[in-house]
């Protein structure tokens, strides 16, 4: 599978940024089985992590055409056979301007920065890596416990000198093993969270339109109850946790229609994408105590405005989009990516070829 990457000399175009340097990506490529005959290194323009986060959010919401490409990229790809990227946009014009291109590799899970359709039309495999599934799954678990047991709320009160013993969800406080937790999405994060919850003795249901049953079985989740609709999860679960990608079709689709299905004792958790949720509808549900609470790490606009109503609600736990942040999640990502490429070359694994089903390889 993709043997040409190791059997034939490749002209590699590396695009780094302020979070993952071009030198680090080159090091990872040269340590892999890819036959990198030449490497051209470019840098995408954001200079600080704050600038990077702002441009990242725009790409995640608006796609590969939303931001400028790396300087010199069109010239560099004219002879490139492989692009190895972090977040620099790779829109259609870049792919069409690379007549020899045979693979696009990206050291992140999100794919909004790449025109997958354009690559697929050319028969070009796109390979990604899930660098932060475990950090996000652990964080989601932490938010679930925090919001249902008032850990963050008690901490905040005590920091202001208030010894608080009663909270807005007081009549619903219970332990995880008495709750039914519903997951929307069983991709990498959803599966990592699911088996952790199962290990804690939690009852689970999940909605996943394209379940990978072999993967579920491999993770000890072959008995996980899969339901037929998002609506069923919202109506049955005591906690609903989102783990899906943001697309044009599902943008702001988690709205008052779904929140109205939830039990008054239920909680909503989002560590996926802020754009999935109609934030105004969620704020209304929380303000009216139509649901017991929510825990959020992502928002419709980031950084969260100092005038956001979420800041004044007593039944929401909020964090600053840090679920995927660990000391090594980003810096190690090129090496994790190239390990996935080696797995493809040596073992024929296809899980990380995101457009595999639409290619003839």
**24 and 331 Cβ atoms separated by less than 8 Å:** yes
Beta pairing partners, 318: 296
Burial label for 227, CB within 10 Å (0-12, 13-18, 19+), is middle
The top-level CATH class assigned to 133-318 is alpha beta
| Average pLDDT of the residues in 74-88 | 98
Per 3-state DSSP, the chain is made up of helix, strand and coil in percentages (nearest 5) of 40, 15, 45
**202 and 177 Cβ atoms separated by less than 8 Å:** yes
pLDDT tens digits for range 142-200: 999 999 999 999 999 999 999 999 999 999 999 999 999 999 999 999 999 999 999 99
Q: Write down the CATH number for the domain with range 4-131+330-358.
A: 3.40.50.720
| Average pLDDT of the residues in 32-37 | 98
Instruction: Delimit the domains of the chain by residue range.
Output: 4-131+330-358, 133-318
In 3D space, the residue among 287, 276, 347, 342 whose CA is nearest the CA of residue 316 turns out to be 287
| 284-187-199 Cα angle (round to 5) | 90
Asked whether the predicted pLDDT for residue 361 surpasses 80, the reply is no
Asked whether the predicted pLDDT for residue 61 surpasses 90, the reply is no
Percent of the chain having pLDDT more than 90? 89
Catalytic residues: 273, 302, 321
Model confidence at 106, in pLDDT bands (50, 70, 90)? very high
Residue 327 has a pLDDT of: 83
pTM for this prediction: 0.82
């Amino acid at each position: 599978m993709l043997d040409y990457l190791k059997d034939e000399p490749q002209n590699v175009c590396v695009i780094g940024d302020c979070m993952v340097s071009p030198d680090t990506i080159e090091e990872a490529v040269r340590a892999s089985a890819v036959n990198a005959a030449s490497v051209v290194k470019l840098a995408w323009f954001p200079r600080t992590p704050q600038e990077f986060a702002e441009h990242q959010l725009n790409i995640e919401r608006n796609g590969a055409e939303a931001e400028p490409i790396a300087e010199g990229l069109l010239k560099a790809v004219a002879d490139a056979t492989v692009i190895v990227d972090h977040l620099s946009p790779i829109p259609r014009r870049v792919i069409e301007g690379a007549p020899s291109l045979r693979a696009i590799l990206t050291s992140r899970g999100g794919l909004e920065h790449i025109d997958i359709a354009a690559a697929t039309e050319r028969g070009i495999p796109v390979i990604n890596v899930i660098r932060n599934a475990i950090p996000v799954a652990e964080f989601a678990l932490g938010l679930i416990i925090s919001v249902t047991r008032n850990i963050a709320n008690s901490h905040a009160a005590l920091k202001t000198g208030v010894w608080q013993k009663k909270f807005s969800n007081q009549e619903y406080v219970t332990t995880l093993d008495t709750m039914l937790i519903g997951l929307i999405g069983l991709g990498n994060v959803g599966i990592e969270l699911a088996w952790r919850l199962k290990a804690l003795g939690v009852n689970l249901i999940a909605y996943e339109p394209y379940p990978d049953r072999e993967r579920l079985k491999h993770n000890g989740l072959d008995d996980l109850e899969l339901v037929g609709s998002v609506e069923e999860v919202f109506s049955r679960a005591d906690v609903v946790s989102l783990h899906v990608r943001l697309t044009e079709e599902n943008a702001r689709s988690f709205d008052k229609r779904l929140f109205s299905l939830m039990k008054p004792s239920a909680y909503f958790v989002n560590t996926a994408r802020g754009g999935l949720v109609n934030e105004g509808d969620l704020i209304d549900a929380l303000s009216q105590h139509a649901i017991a609470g929510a825990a959020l790490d992502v928002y419709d606009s980031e950084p969260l405005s100092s005038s956001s109503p979420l800041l004044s609600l007593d039944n929401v736990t909020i964090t600053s989009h840090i679920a995927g942040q660990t000391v090594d999640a980003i810096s190690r990502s090129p090496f994790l990516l190239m390990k996935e490429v080696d797995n493809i070359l040596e073992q024929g694994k296809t899980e990380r070829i995101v457009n595999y089903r639409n290619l003839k390889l």
